[in-house]
Amino acid sequence: MAAGSAIQIPSRLPLLLTHEGVLLPGSTMRTSVDSPRNMQLVRSRLLKGTSLRSTIIGVIPNTSDPTSDCDELPSLHRIGTAALAVQVVGSNWPKPHYTLLVTGLCRFQILQLLKEKPYPVAEVEQLDRLEQFTNQLKSEEELGELSEQFYKYAVQLVEMLDMSVPAVAKLRRLLDNLPREALPDILTSIIRTSNQEKLQILDAVRLEERFKMTIPLLVRQIEGLKLLQKTRKPKQDDDKRVVAIRPNRRINHIPSTTEDEEEEEDHDDVVMLEKKIRTSSMSEQALKVCLKEIKRLKKMPQSMPEYALTRNYLELMVELPWNKSTKDRLEIRAARILLDNDHYAMEKLKKRVLEYLAVRQLKNNLKGPILCFVGPPGVGKTSVGRSIAKTLGREFHRIALGGVCDQSDIRGHRRTYVGSMPGRIINGLKTVGVNNPVFLLDEVDKLGKSLQGDPAAALLEVLDPEQNHSFTDHYLNVAFDLSQVLFIATANTTATIPPALLDRMEIIQVPGYTQEEKIEIAHRHLIPKQLEQHGLTPQQIQIPQVTTLDIITRYTREAGVRSLDRKLGAICRAVAVKVAEGQHKETKPDRAEVGEGEDCKEHVTEDAKPESISDTADLALPPEMPILIDFHALKDILGPPMYEMEVSERLSQPGVAIGLAWTPLGGEIMFVEASRMDGEGQLTLTGQLGDVMKESAHLAISWLRSNAKRYQLTNASGSFDLLDNTDIHLHFPAGAVTKDGPSAGVTIVTCLASLFSGRLVCSDVAMTGEITLRGLVLPVGGIKDKVLAAHRAGLKRIIIPQRNEKDLEEIAVNVRQDLTFVMASCLDEVLNAAFDGGFAVKPRVERLNSKL
Ligand code: ADP
């Protein structure tokens, strides 16, 4: 086997050039073959050959750059190892290649290269012969000493290893049975050495030289082992179970490679990590787990994938804020001022938040409900959450839950999975670095469900004050106390929040803003913020209130202020370009940009100084700054208005009425259109309607048919049977939005009454209310949002169910002043209010005007 005594290698050897390490006599190596040259060798020599001699090849370490493996044969290392190809395995994935198992026989040196293609073949001379060594050994006393010394170190090293590992026991036996001369090669390939070191051993043709070079390597390993055992716990029994042996560079005579350095650093890191674990303030249970893991880590070879996993886990455990918290500084008066400064309007929300904070101040460990702000997008839910954190002096972290449909997102993956990681809660804690932050669970209504479990169920444990002191993330696998975390949730609607989750939270509705509120918000908060973000000053841009109103009414239609904010951002960007251009124009300043442009003249002055706004103002021209954004400028920057007051236009025919709808994005006005045609009394409904809405339509028709005579409603042929030879088509435009709910009942009745009577519905009336078959009007929800939507759309009169009168109190006085409310308890009243001059032939009840 090793430096074979009886082995006589052929004098001509095919050469295998390998980048994958250095093969030494007596050792075995697995090498992958994919270069064309080596593939040829395997195919035509190893796979076709039949004799034992044909399986002997010369393995030469290829010291050239592996990436430059081109057609040219690189310069060959002169000494190689003759090897027996023990096994050849071929595969096609990811590209055709063979894996060779080769056992080193003896050294050889290349005398002459005989051919290069298709694979190199060389005339060689065998270098190692056992008989020679034996003879030498007898004659040279010194070599005998060296070999004795080497043997001693080898035995010492092997005895430091764990004999219960079969490979170690076998090595111990080999030490006694193998000829001493074979040992340097074999031990060099077993102990931890770099390729560079192995190459030096390969080149050491003289046995004496080889012994001399290997002894320091052995000593280095022994020292490394001793050091390792010292750093480990003084538990005697375990100490010997060291599999990975690390080099000690102090006695390293052969230059060490960067690989070695990295390993040493890694080792230091593990020691540091252990220190950190011991000094960290983690819970007792966590400490126990971590110490167990670090014990495992030390025994693990670094190449094992689990090494990195365990290390990441331990690093996370150390980083988590087990006992670190910020000190609450809570002063209700200051909190009120801060909330007022940051947010305009939203009085109800601010009041509730202050109550919550006040109770916290009085009772420290508040196990109160979780606050959940529900309202349309852009009404400031998130930003109030941020303000709460600011008032408390706590860290703030937002966890977006929209679209999350895997419970491991909340609770982490078990560490057995590849790519496992902690859930968002634990991740958030790691990010903020304290255990009492404010966590904003954004969009809880948009949690999904999938095969991977229900994330809402995982949230239950997080949000339950009774349970969350021992929240167990699957990744951590130990409990973490979340009771100090202040959770706030936001949602657009409560309809899609799972009931169990809803039960844990206190819902605070955040309605949309009125136009006036939006103007105030824009001028107090949004515009200053945008100016700052764009590097502009009020001296450079001026946005008057009428312009803001124009943006609100003509360019946005929303309950919140997010689009408004974006539009203001667009204006600032456009102005920033002008300002920057103005600053850089050299001799030819541009035309003054005021939008209207009528009185703008061309600058002709050649000597106008650049980079100075005030200088250009000296010219007898309209001042360049501030740039005034008026409607013309608005049109230029934002394009033509997106929303016009189209209401009156659309109500120019009979059979159209305006309803009010509630959506998670706030209130909206909704047109209902009807037409009739010859047919067989069928009703067609279009516009993405739900079942409840369809029922309302049938109810409306039934009521009108039964009251046709009273109201003198006839079909096209003059019959009171409205469906006689007539088909009706009802359409609810904006077909992409699914509409459902009973509140369109009154609108459908009004629309059909208009169709069958041929009279126009007043163009400034909007209505909402559920109907019954007997013509009563029942209350509906979302009145505030609906009224605001009608106000936004410029409508003047609003018909609402009588029993919703109390909801009007929530609406701002200025909005109420702009509108007339009609409280209707039956359909007669609705129709009377919807048509100019009333509707009933014999009106029984006069229209009711709001007392507001
Ligand atoms: P939401 O979370 O409700 O979707 P955000 O909190 O993200 O809305 O608010 C959008 C933007 O509008 C933020 O920049 C916020 O500062 C601003 N904003 C909303 N409401 C107000 C308000 N009442 N006062 C001042 N700024 C507001």
pLDDT for residue 690: 79
Cα of 246 to ligand 1 centre, how many Å? 58
Whether 136 is in a domain gets the answer no
Do 46 and 120 share a domain, yes or no?
yes
Cα of 381 to ligand 1 centre, how many Å? 7
pLDDT for residue 683: 87
**CATH code of the domain covering residue 530:** 1.10.8.60
pLDDT tens-digit readout, 282-333: 888 899 999 998 888 888 887 777 888 888 889 899 989 998 888 887 788 8
Q: Percent of the chain, pLDDT > 90?
A: 18
Atom 26 of ligand 1, nearest CA residue: 343
Helix or strand holding residue 56 (H, E): strand 56-61
The annotation status of 376 as a binding-site residue, yes or no, is: yes
Atom 24 of ligand 1, nearest CA residue: 343
Do 203 and 286 share a domain, yes or no?
no
Quote the distance between the C-alpha of residue 216 and its chain's center: 52
Quote the radius of gyration of the chain (alpha carbons, Å). 43
> DSSP code of 759?
P
Per-residue pLDDT for 113 more than 50? Answer: yes
CA of 703: how far to CAs of 6, 648, 699, 713, 770, in Å? 113, 27, 6, 12, 13
Helix or strand holding residue 124 (H, E): strand 121-126
Mean pLDDT of 185-212: 87
786 is catalytic: yes
Mean pLDDT of 350-374: 81
> What does the block give as tokens for 58?
């010369």
Best substitution site from 490, 492, 510, 561 to test ligand 1's pocket, by max atoms within 8 Å of Cβ?
561
Q: 656-663 and 666-678 as β-strands: parallel, antiparallel, unpaired?
A: antiparallel
SS (H, E, C) 677-729: EECCCCEEEECCECHHHHHHHHHHHHHHHHCHHHHCCCCCCCCCCCCCCEEEE
Cα of 383 to ligand 1 centre, how many Å? 6
pLDDT for residue 589: 43
pLDDT grade for 844, boundaries at 50, 70 and 90 = very low
Do 440 and 392 share a domain, yes or no?
yes
> What does the block give as tokens for 809?
């109190």
pLDDT grade for 429, boundaries at 50, 70 and 90 = very high
More confident residue, 68 or 785: 785
* 490 C-beta closer than 6 A to ligand 1: yes
Do 315 and 349 share a domain, yes or no?
no
**CATH code of the domain covering residue 35:** 2.30.130.40
pLDDT tens-digit readout, 535-551: 988 888 889 888 998 89
Least confident segment among 31-40, 422-431, 617-626, 770-779 = 617-626
Cα of 824 to ligand 1 centre, how many Å? 36
Per-residue pLDDT for 821 more than 90? Answer: yes
Half-sphere exposure for 402 (CA within 13 Å, toward CB): 9
> What does the block give as tokens for 359?
């109770």
Q: What is the dihedral of CA 284, 290, 295, 298, to 10 degrees?
A: -150
Per-residue pLDDT for 336 more than 70? Answer: yes
Full residue range of the structural domain in which residue 41 is found: 12-129
- Residue reference for tokens 């994935």: 93
Whether 157 is in a domain gets the answer yes
Whether 72 is in a domain gets the answer yes
User: Which residues 6+ apart lie within 8 Å of 779 measured at CB?
Assistant: 769, 770, 801, 802, 803, 804
Per-residue pLDDT for 744 more than 80? Answer: yes
Atom index in ligand 1 nearest the CA of residue 376 equals 3
DSSP 161-219: S-TTSHHHHHHHHHHHHS-GGGHHHHHHHHS---HHHHHHHHH--SHHHHHHHHHHHHH
Quote the distance between the C-alpha of residue 238 and its chain's center: 43
SS (H, E, C) 254-300: CCCCHHHHHHHHHHHHHHHHHHHHHHCCCCHHHHHHHHHHHHHHHHC
pLDDT tens-digit readout, 337-352: 988 998 998 888 898 8
Whether 750 is in a domain gets the answer yes
The CB density around residue 645, as the number of other CB atoms within 10 Å, is 12
Do 156 and 122 share a domain, yes or no?
no
Do 218 and 293 share a domain, yes or no?
no
Best substitution site from 373, 396, 525, 530 to test ligand 1's pocket, by max atoms within 8 Å of Cβ?
525
pLDDT tens-digit readout, 143-188: 778 888 888 888 888 888 777 667 777 788 888 888 888 888 888 8
Cα of 329 to ligand 1 centre, how many Å? 24
pLDDT for residue 66: 65
Least confident segment among 410-414, 534-538, 689-693, 776-780 = 689-693
> DSSP code of 551?
I
Best substitution site from 338, 340, 381, 383 to test ligand 1's pocket, by max atoms within 8 Å of Cβ?
383
Ranges 66-75, 370-379, 520-529, most confident: 520-529
* 345 C-beta closer than 6 A to ligand 1: yes
The CB density around residue 232, as the number of other CB atoms within 10 Å, is 17
Least confident segment among 232-241, 504-513, 538-547, 642-651 = 232-241
> What does the block give as tokens for 267?
């080792």
* 186 C-beta closer than 6 A to ligand 1: no
More confident residue, 650 or 154: 154
Q: How far is 242 from 300, CA to CA, in rounded Å?
A: 9
**Helix residue spans in 4-140 (DSSP H):** 36-41, 130-139
Atom 21 of ligand 1, nearest CA residue: 380
Catalytic residue among 743, 754, 757, 825: 743
* 594 C-beta closer than 6 A to ligand 1: no
**CATH code of the domain covering residue 746:** 3.30.230.10
> What does the block give as tokens for 524?
């107090």
The CB density around residue 435, as the number of other CB atoms within 10 Å, is 20
CA of 702: how far to CAs of 688, 749, 777, 795, in Å? 22, 10, 15, 29
Query: What counts of helices (H) and strands (E) characterise the chain?
Result: 30, 24
Do 424 and 532 share a domain, yes or no?
no
Q: Phi and psi dihedrals of 625, rounded to 5?
A: -120, 150
Mean pLDDT of 354-375: 80
Mean pLDDT of the chain: 81
Contact 562, 378 (CB under 8 A): yes
Per-residue pLDDT for 614 more than 50? Answer: no
Contact 757, 711 (CB under 8 A): yes
State the burial class of residue 836 (Cβ atoms within 10 Å of its Cβ: 0-12, 13-18, 19+): exposed
Q: Which amino acid is at 428?
A: G
Per-residue pLDDT for 603 more than 50? Answer: no
* 411 C-beta closer than 6 A to ligand 1: no
The annotation status of 377 as a binding-site residue, yes or no, is: yes
> What does the block give as tokens for 319?
């980083």
Cα of 553 to ligand 1 centre, how many Å? 18
Q: How far is 513 from 179, CA to CA, in rounded Å?
A: 93
Identify whether 499 is preceded by a cis peptide bond (ω within 30 of 0): no
CA of 363: how far to CAs of 121, 330, 360, 367, 750, in Å? 88, 12, 5, 9, 56
pLDDT grade for 32, boundaries at 50, 70 and 90 = confident
350 is catalytic: no
* 161 C-beta closer than 6 A to ligand 1: no
Whether 2 is in a domain gets the answer no
Whether 848 is in a domain gets the answer no
pLDDT for residue 758: 84
Catalytic residue among 198, 739, 784, 786: 786
Mean pLDDT of 747-774: 90
Mean pLDDT of 420-433: 91
CA of 374: how far to CAs of 399, 492, 515, 745, in Å? 16, 5, 20, 26
pLDDT tens-digit readout, 387-396: 989 888 889 9
Atom index in ligand 1 nearest the CA of residue 384 equals 6
Count structural domains, the chain.
Answer: 6
Do 307 and 336 share a domain, yes or no?
no
pLDDT tens-digit readout, 563-584: 999 999 999 999 888 888 776 5
pLDDT for residue 524: 93
With residues binned 3-state (H G I as helix, E B as strand, rest as coil), the percentages for the chain, rounded to 5, are 45, 15, 40
Mean pLDDT of 478-492: 90
Q: End of a domain among 64, 95, 129? A: 129
* 378 C-beta closer than 6 A to ligand 1: yes
* 562 C-beta closer than 6 A to ligand 1: yes
Per-residue pLDDT for 822 more than 80? Answer: yes
Do 818 and 777 share a domain, yes or no?
yes
Mean pLDDT of 346-366: 81
Cα of 380 to ligand 1 centre, how many Å? 3
Per-residue pLDDT for 593 more than 80? Answer: no
* 252 C-beta closer than 6 A to ligand 1: no
Contact 88, 47 (CB under 8 A): yes
Mean pLDDT of 813-834: 89
Do 752 and 654 share a domain, yes or no?
yes
Per-residue pLDDT for 132 more than 60? Answer: no
pLDDT tens-digit readout, 762-807: 888 999 999 999 889 999 988 988 898 888 888 889 999 999 999 8
Do 42 and 86 share a domain, yes or no?
yes
Per-residue pLDDT for 88 more than 70? Answer: yes
User: Which residues 6+ apart lie within 8 Å of 201 measured at CB?
Assistant: 22, 24, 184, 185, 188, 193, 210, 213, 214
Do 360 and 433 share a domain, yes or no?
yes
Atom index in ligand 1 nearest the CA of residue 346 equals 23
Q: Percent of the chain, pLDDT > 70?
A: 83
pLDDT for residue 764: 86
User: Which residues 6+ apart lie within 8 Å of 194 measured at CB?
Assistant: 254, 256, 257, 259, 260
Atom 6 of ligand 1, nearest CA residue: 380
SS3 69: coil
SS (H, E, C) 351-414: HHHHHHHHHHHHCCCCCCCEEEEECCCCCCHHHHHHHHHHHHCCCEEEEECCCCCCHHHHHCCC
Per-residue pLDDT for 740 more than 50? Answer: yes
pLDDT for residue 588: 44
> What does the block give as tokens for 593?
């940009």
Per-residue pLDDT for 235 more than 70? Answer: no
Atom index in ligand 1 nearest the CA of residue 379 equals 3
Least confident segment among 96-100, 207-211, 612-616 = 612-616
Ranges 55-69, 600-614, 733-747, 770-784, most confident: 770-784
* 666 C-beta closer than 6 A to ligand 1: no
Cα of 187 to ligand 1 centre, how many Å? 71
pLDDT for residue 568: 94
pLDDT for residue 300: 82
Cα of 678 to ligand 1 centre, how many Å? 53
User: Which residues 6+ apart lie within 8 Å of 587 measured at CB?
Assistant: 606, 607, 608, 610
Residues facing 262 on adjacent strands: none
Whether 811 is in a domain gets the answer yes
Residues facing 396 on adjacent strands: 438
The annotation status of 381 as a binding-site residue, yes or no, is: yes
Per-residue pLDDT for 59 more than 60? Answer: yes
Mean pLDDT of 243-252: 40
Whether 228 is in a domain gets the answer no
SS3 480: strand
